[in-house]
Structure 1
Amino acid sequence: MLPLVTDLVTIVRALAVTGYGNAVTYDWAEHASRVTVEACVQPNGSGETTGGRDTVITHIRVFLHPGTDVTATDRIEWNGRTYEVDGEPQRWPDPTGGGEHHVELTATYTTGG
């Protein structure tokens, strides 16, 4: 059971395209798949770099239902912004035994720079 399911997020998965020299690139536009799922989204800090070009980085923590299909290369659309998933989403075991309790990930939104 998730803490409080108060949000809907869209998981965006790009089509991996093999190009010149077997380099893999991602098609985020036309061929990206989008799936909207229930979630609990919480703030997870932010930072700022100042100088010639100011950059603001905002982090969120996202809790998803067990079995949600999300990977490290996906993006999360929420609240009018597109966040990059940070690392591999964590699949937490059910403490009462048998299966997965929930999926948890952090994601980053960067502006400026």
Structure 2
Amino acid sequence: MADAYTNRRDWEHAELVWSGLASVQPGRPYTVRSPERETTVDRLVIYLPPTADVDSADRITVQGVTYQIEDEPARWPAGRLSHITIKAVRVRR
């Protein structure tokens, strides 16, 4: 990826980079209502092991549903409790 403006991920040929156990917690969903459209934004907070190779341009699949990662993953170095926290979203119409 040269920079954030010119290159995009090739999701047609996506590769699995990590798979394993994680703690997946529901975030606060919200609905946007307007005369033009009504959408619902689903949010998750996901806690991964510190060795998971994930960044903000990746997507994550939980129980067959694909979410986009919001913001940079937060890395928490805390000895035996080290982990990565991810905020994930998907928009439904």
**TM-score normalized by structure 1?**
0.71
Q: For 1:1-113, what aligned pairs fall within 5 Å after superposition? A: 23-30=6-13, 32-34=14-16, 35-51=18-34, 52-94=36-78, 101-112=82-93
Higher Cα radius of gyration: 1
Unaligned 5+ segments in structure 2 are: none
Unaligned 5+ segments in structure 1 are: 1-15
Secondary structure of 2:29 counterpart: strand
Larger relative strand fraction:
1
**TM-score normalized by structure 2?**
0.84
C-alpha displacement of 1:95 = 5.2
Query: Number of aligned pairs?
Result: 90
Task: Report sequence identity in percent.
Answer: 29
Looking at structure 1, the residues matched to 31 and 10 of structure 2 have their Cα atoms a distance apart, in angstroms, of 29
Give me the CA root mean square deviation.
2.2
Moved over 6 A (4+): none
**Matched-pair contact (CA < 8 Å) for 1:60–1:108:** yes
Deviations 1:30-59 (A, max 9, x none): 2x1113221000001101011221110010
